[in-house]
Amino acid sequence: MYKLIFVTKRKAGLSQEEYFQHYAEVHFPLATAIPGLISYNQMPIVHGAWYGSDSFPDYDAVSEYTFESKEAADLAYASPEGIALNEDTGEFIDWDTVLTIPVEVNQSHTAAKHWVKNRVHQE
């Protein structure tokens, strides 16, 4: 599996309410229409919720797109639906501040738990 994770910030002049309304009502249907997409999550950042710390204080949300492979993601974003999605992104997200994190998912939660359990017993 291949994931693209984007940490995003709203464009100057948009309120949080306007940003999240566009994110949910306009961007979500466009995102979920791109071909090859396995899953998509929109996750608003909860500021100050982790022991009072405020990671990414200037950012508003995290989006997570899951594809079978990098090649599938490349094809998705080159499609007409992917082009429309990127055009919409520029309508409410400050492109210059987007943090993009591409990741390969090569182990499951169960496998990770097994690895940690075995590792702890070896030490």
Please state the φ and ψ torsions of residue 65, each to the nearest 5 degrees. Answer: -110, 130
What pLDDT shows up at residue 46? Answer: 82
What pLDDT shows up at residue 116? Answer: 53
Decide: residue 98, CB within 10 A, 0-12 exposed, 13-18 middle, 19+ buried: middle
pTM: 0.81
Digitized pLDDT (tens) for each residue of the chain, 123 residues in all:
999 999 999 999 999 999 999 999 999 999 999 999 999 999 998 876 666 666 667 899 999 999 999 999 999 999 999 999 999 999 999 999 999 999 998 766 555 555 555 555 555
Single-letter amino acid code for the residue at 101: I
